[in-house]
Amino acid sequence: MNGDARSVDFFRGSRLLGMCLMRNRVTVLAIVLLCVARTSVGAQAFDVLIRNGHIMDGTGSPWYSADLGIRDGRIAAIGRLPGATARTVIDARNLLVTPGFIDMLGQSELTILVEPHLPSKIFQGITIREEHRLTLQDAIRKFTSLPAQRLGLAERGVLKQGLWADITIFDPEQIHDVATFENPNQLSVGMHSVLVNGVPVIAGGKATQALPGKVLQGPGYLQ
C-alpha cells in the first residue's frame, strides 16, 4: 500500500509540475506577443505622422503627450510611436493637437449683410486665454465633439483611432485673429497646421491649396 501511495503522490506531483510549467510558458508567450504587437504598432508606416503633440481629444479631458499616425484619411494610431515612419511628419512639440473645429453657422452672417459695420464673427466669442471664463478643454469640446454630436456626425469631432482625421494643430499661447473687414482673408497667427480627412490644408502656417473636403450628410439627409 505504501508503494502505491507513493506512486499516486508522484503522479499527482508530476501533473502539478506539468501544469505549472505550461502556465509559465503561456504567460511568457503572452508577454512576447504583447511586446511584438507594441513594437509593430510603433514601427508602422503612415501617410502622416504627428510627433510630440499635446493631444486634446475633444471629449473635455485634459491634454496628454502622444504621437498620432494617419493612414487613408483616418486616425490609425495614437500613442508612443518611436519607430514609425511617414511620408509627411509634423513636429507638434509644445503645440495643441485637437479635432477640427466645426462651425454651426450660428453667429452673424445675416446681420453683416444687413449692416456691414456691425461686428461679425471675426470679433465675437469668448476669449478663453485672457478672460478664463471656460477651461481650454471645455472650449475645445464646444468647438468639436459637441457640434458633431448635434449635427449627427458620428465619425467626426473626436481624436480616436478609426475616425476621420480632421485635426487642428495650434499654439494656445500665440493664436489670435488678424482678419479685418478691409482685409478678411488672413490666416490666424499661431495656427500651425490644419488637416481635413488626413490631408494638410494648412502646413507651417501657410495654405497648401489642397482641397480634400467633401459634403457631409447628417441623419436628416433625404435622397
Torsion-angle region of 14 (φ positive above 0: left; ψ -120 to 50: alpha; else: beta): alpha
Return the CATH fold of 43-215.
Urease, subunit C; domain 1 (2.30.40)
Average pLDDT rounded to a whole number, residues 43-69: 95
Q: Rounded to whole angstroms, what are the CA distances from 175 to 5, 126, 178, 207?
A: 82, 14, 10, 16
Question: pLDDT tens, 140-199?
Answer: 999 999 999 998 998 999 999 999 999 999 999 888 878 788 887 777 788 999 999 999
Check residue 124 and give its pLDDT. 45
Check residue 44 and give its pLDDT. 84
| Residue boundaries of the structural domains of the chain | 1-42, 43-215
Question: pLDDT tens, 114-129?
Answer: 555 545 444 444 466 6
Nearest one of 80, 10, 9 to 44, comparing CA atoms: 80
Chain-wide mean pLDDT for the chain? 80
| pTM higher than 0.75 | no
